Chains A and B, each alone.
Chain A
Amino acid sequence: MTIQLNGEPCDLAAPATLADLLARLDIDPRRVAIERNFVVVKRDHYASTAIEPGDQIEIVNFVGGG
């Protein structure tokens, strides 16, 4: 299936949860936040949130800023 990941199209083997996506990208879930279709998903729901084709996923973290 194809999703939008951080604004770019991304092919992802289905089925996949948000926890699967983070594992495939080698991202530590404790350091990021995820928005799925403009709604923030709580960290403890990553494993139970299935990704659907066409989903818009944003994965963000903290960077330097003022």
Chain B
Amino acid sequence: MADPFVIAGREFRSRLIIGTGKYPTHQIMQAAHEASGADMVTVAVRRVNVSDRTKESLLDYIDPKTYFLLPNTAACYTAEDAIRTARLGREVGLSHWVKLEVIGDEKTLFPDNEALLEATRVLVKEGFVVLPYTTDDPVVCRKLEDAGAAAVMPLGAPIGSGLGIQNPNNIRLIREQARVPVIVDAGVGTASDAAIAMELGADGVLLNTAVALAQDPVAMARAMKLAVEAGRLAFRAGRIPRKSYASASSPLEGTIAAARVG
């Protein structure tokens, strides 16, 4: 059954979006991307090292024909910095998509939702496709959607924490109300976390650290691909209701056991 993943009119093959940071080497990143089956990858926008030009470019290891590049505004703490970074990212990548981050706290990297909303409004007005990274708050997600966000990207847990989906009910509520794709962004630690996000109804999962810092990033990338697919299938298949007591799967009649005398 066709189940296209569409954001702002653009269709993606994979519901897994994967990062490009923190891999042991560029070569391992490239192999992990391939194993993940993803066709969208995130990148950060940073100053060029003007005194040392010897470093290899990340883009030598990402084929633009295979991967759609999604620049982020990571490490921006004000709407103004995030807007400037988004504009620069558009110029490097020549696409008007941005993963919008406005960080509000250094320790948790939780977003500053007030500044995030402000930056979303400005960038939407400038024609950007804005994918905001936000807290798992249904009200904030609704406001972002009203501001013109092309998707909402609630966190499952703090960035890089690997804690998994901390508030499954909020993700479910966000999915219920949203008219745009819901992408769980951050907090995934292992494959089951990605599957849970998808089973809750998320349209996609964005992750980086869980793959990049796994002992075998390429194997973990494949695990994430399968988990996202499995979770999506299970969501669409419709799970059974939870019950407190057993309900036998095998017939109760015809057993050789002696009938109990009550």
Give A contacts to B, CB under 8 Å: 5-7, 10, 25-27, 31-35, 38, 40, 42-43, 58-66
| Chain A interface, DSSP helix/strand/loop, else mixed | strand
17 sampled A-B residue pairs with Cβ under 8 A = A31-B57, A31-B59, A35-B84, A35-B87, A35-B88, A58-B47, A61-B59, A62-B43, A62-B69, A62-B92, A63-B44, A64-B22, A64-B29, A65-B43, A65-B44, A66-B206, A66-B209
Of the candidates A35, A38, A64, A66, the one having the most CB atoms from chain B within 10 angstroms of its own CB is A66
B50 within 8 A of A: yes
Given contacts A6-B48, A40-B87, A58-B88, is CB(A66)–CB(B159) below 8 Å? yes
4 further contact pairs, Cβ within 8 A, besides A33-B89, A65-B21, A66-B186 = A27-B48, A35-B87, A62-B44, A64-B43
Distance of A60 Cα from B23 Cα, bound (Å): 21
Q: Are B20 and A64 in contact (CB under 8 A)?
A: yes
**CB < 8 Å neighbour of A61 from B23, B48, B90:** B48
B71 within 8 A of A: yes
Give B contacts to A, CB under 8 Å: 19-23, 29, 42-48, 50, 53, 57-59, 69, 71-72, 74, 84, 87-93, 159-160, 186, 206-209
**CB < 8 Å neighbour of B50 from A59, A62, A65:** A59
**In the complex, which residues of chain A have a beta carbon less than 8 angstroms from the beta carbon of B53?**
25-27
Distance of A6 Cα from B88 Cα, bound (Å): 13
